[in-house]
A and B are shown apart, each in its own frame.
Chain A
Amino acid sequence: MTRVFADLHLCVNTRDSAASSQTIHRASELGYKLVSVPFWSETPETEISKLRACCVDAGIDYVSRVDLRPKSQNDLMRQLRKLRRRFEVVCVACENKEVARQAAKDHRVDLLSFPSLDFRRRFFDRAEAELASNSLAALEIDTKPLLVLEGPSRIRLLSNLRREVAVAIEFHVPIIVSSGVGDEWLLRKPREMAALAGLTGLGSSEALDAVSKNPCSIVYRNRGKLSSGFVAPGIRIIREGSDC
């Protein structure tokens, strides 16, 4: 069975429609079937629909995603209550430990993201992984810093990523590999992304799953939940009518 490849973190500037369209078409040419552009909570619906139309034009499936940057646990809960049903994928950029722990244990969070350059604020340790393994959160790794960084900063990043990936594998936390790029020159084919993910200690099939199976399963699961027939996990309305 052929794999469906997804890039859930395409950072295009939505105000520059020509450049964003070009990047999305490029992603389609490179073999992605699902792409997602992160929005902030205040993004107007018109911008999202414009991007969706651009993706339809490129023959690619658009996944709506919101990136949350809460300051505290309560702020995260408030934002999740407000936005969870509006977006197919919810990513939390964990900027402090309190937020990281709450995000890892909350079932409404899909992706956990940590700052690439600030190594002291990468909170993905064994405790975080244990919490994430009991919820549905996955660890997101961007390939952009692996491409643009050089020397000691790339060495430190690789070292941190290898440690985090080993912990994630131990606790069965899914790993998602995304590009995190806005420049089309930095876009890579899915198998090249998997090869770059191999630098973090992922095996070849695990790395391919990180760009295909894992992101797709999050999207399909959430689409099911957001559909009108969803009642509860495992229960959905198949048919309605007087003869049921």
Chain B
Amino acid sequence: MKRVKRRYLALKIEAERVPLEREFVDAAWASIAKLYGEYGASQAGLVLIAYDVEGKTAVIRTALSTLSLVRASLASIILLSGAKASVHVMAVSGTIKSLYKR
């Protein structure tokens, strides 16, 4: 079976109220499902790698083929647990190691 290429995304979460880890993951999934449907969301293979509430940052992993899908979905998040929010992609990398180096 062909190996699935992945990308790691470093995210900056800006919100009136910083969401909990669960709330953020739910919002990301909901946004992908809203834009691309459940079939599209199933292809994204979204996994939360790290979440820092104090630093308001997160690291997620997705399949390379669905990178643009995930970017658009994250950009379309305007509310996180009822508060105004935006999620910005700070960096994209092929390995976690090089992502943290940046």
Which A residues fall within an 8 A CB radius of B?
Answer: 30, 146-148, 150, 183, 185-189, 191-193, 195-196, 198-199, 204
**Distance from B97 Cβ to chain A, minimum over Cβ atoms (Å):** 23
Contact A147 B88 (CB under 8 A): no
- 17 A-B pairs whose Cβ atoms sit less than 8 Å apart in the complex: A30-B88, A147-B76, A150-B34, A185-B85, A185-B86, A188-B86, A189-B88, A189-B89, A191-B71, A192-B71, A192-B75, A193-B75, A195-B68, A195-B71, A196-B72, A199-B72, A204-B68
* Distance of A150 Cα from B33 Cα, bound (Å): 12
Residue of A nearest to B90 (CB): A189
Supposing A191-B89, A192-B89, A199-B35 touch, asked if A185 and B78 sit within 8 A by C-beta, the answer is yes
Residue of B nearest to A204 (CB): B68
Residue of A nearest to B78 (CB): A147
* Distance of A204 Cα from B71 Cα, bound (Å): 12
Residue of B nearest to A148 (CB): B78
**Distance from B34 Cβ to chain A, minimum over Cβ atoms (Å):** 8
The residues of A that contact B68 with a CB separation of less than 8 Å are 195, 198, 204
7 closest residue pairs by CB, A with B: A195-B71, A192-B75, A195-B72, A185-B84, A188-B75, A196-B75, A198-B68
Residue of B nearest to A29 (CB): B88
**Interface residues on chain B, size class:** 10 to 19
* Distance of A183 Cα from B78 Cα, bound (Å): 11
Per-position binary interface string of chain B over residues 64-102, scored 1 when its CB falls under 8 Å from any chain A CB and 0 otherwise: 000010011011101000001110110000000000000
* Distance of A183 Cα from B85 Cα, bound (Å): 11
The residues of A that contact B14 with a CB separation of less than 8 Å are 185
Cβ < 8 Å to A, chain B residues 34-52: 34-35
Which B residues fall within an 8 A CB radius of A?
Answer: 14, 34-35, 68, 71-72, 74-76, 78, 84-86, 88-89
The residues of B that contact A146 with a CB separation of less than 8 Å are 76
Max chain B CB contacts within 10 Å: which of A147, A185, A191? A185
Contact B78 A186 (CB under 8 A): yes
The residues of A that contact B71 with a CB separation of less than 8 Å are 191-192, 195
Residue of B nearest to A151 (CB): B34
* Distance of A195 Cα from B62 Cα, bound (Å): 15
* Distance of A243 Cα from B89 Cα, bound (Å): 57
The residues of B that contact A183 with a CB separation of less than 8 Å are 84
* Distance of A195 Cα from B75 Cα, bound (Å): 8
**Distance from B89 Cβ to chain A, minimum over Cβ atoms (Å):** 7
* Distance of A196 Cα from B71 Cα, bound (Å): 8
The residues of A that contact B34 with a CB separation of less than 8 Å are 150
* Distance of A189 Cα from B75 Cα, bound (Å): 9
**Distance from B78 Cβ to chain A, minimum over Cβ atoms (Å):** 5
Residue of B nearest to A143 (CB): B75
Contact A196 B84 (CB under 8 A): no
Contact B76 A198 (CB under 8 A): no
* Distance of A147 Cα from B73 Cα, bound (Å): 10
**Distance from A178 Cβ to chain B, minimum over Cβ atoms (Å):** 14
